[in-house]
Amino acid sequence: MADLLAANLRRLGHRVVAMCRNGKEAVETTARLHPDLVILDIEMPLLNGLDAARQILVAASIPIVMSTGISDIRSLQNAADLNVVSYLVKPYSPAQLKVSIHLAVAQCRAFFREPSVAAA
C-alpha cells in the first residue's frame, strides 16, 4: 500500500522524501527531514499513526493526513482532537488524494499565516 501511495503522489507531482515502516520511524524521519506534509496510517507497528501524529505535532507544525481503513467515530474524533488536517478512508482514488493534500496544505497555510494588524 505504501508503494502505491508513493507512486500516486509522484504522479500528482509531489516528491516523496521518505517511506517509513512504522510510527516510531515516521516520528524520527519527520524530525530529521522536516517535510511539507506527512501521510500516516493509523495502524502502524511500534507506534500507531495517532500517537505518531501527536509526537510529530508537539515538535513541529506540519500538516498531517491520515490514510487508513478505519472509519469509526472514535478514530475520527481522535484525529480531529490532534488537529490532523485530513482523513482519507481506504480505498481512495488519486483524485481524492489530490484534494486531501491540497486542502491540508491550504488549511495549514491559513492557520500559520502572519496575523493582520490594524493601526488606529
Kindly report the CATH number assigned to the domain that includes residue 104. Answer: 3.40.50.2300
Omega of the bond leading into 115 within 30 degrees of 0 (cis): no
Q: What is the DSSP letter of 66?
A: E
Flag whether 116 is in a domain.
Answer: no
- Overall domain count for the chain: 1
Three-state SS for 94? helix
Domain residues for 74?
2-111
Alpha helices in 14-93 (DSSP H): 23-33, 49-59, 73-81
Flag whether 119 is in a domain.
Answer: no
Flag whether 117 is in a domain.
Answer: no
pLDDT of 116 reads 43
Alpha helices in the chain (DSSP H): 2-11, 23-33, 49-59, 73-81, 94-111
pLDDT of 76 reads 78
pLDDT of 120 reads 39
**C-alpha cell at position 44:** 502502524
Flag whether 51 is in a domain.
Answer: yes
Flag whether 12 is in a domain.
Answer: yes
pLDDT of 22 reads 95
Flag whether 59 is in a domain.
Answer: yes
Backbone torsion region of residue 108, taken as left when φ is above 0, otherwise alpha when ψ lies between -120 and 50, otherwise beta: alpha
pLDDT of 74 reads 84
Flag whether 118 is in a domain.
Answer: no
Q: What is the pLDDT along the chain (120 residues), one digit of tens a residue?
A: 788 889 999 998 889 999 999 999 999 999 999 998 999 998 899 999 999 999 998 988 888 898 888 777 887 777 877 778 888 888 888 899 999 888 887 876 655 554 444 443
pLDDT of 77 reads 79
Flag whether 64 is in a domain.
Answer: yes
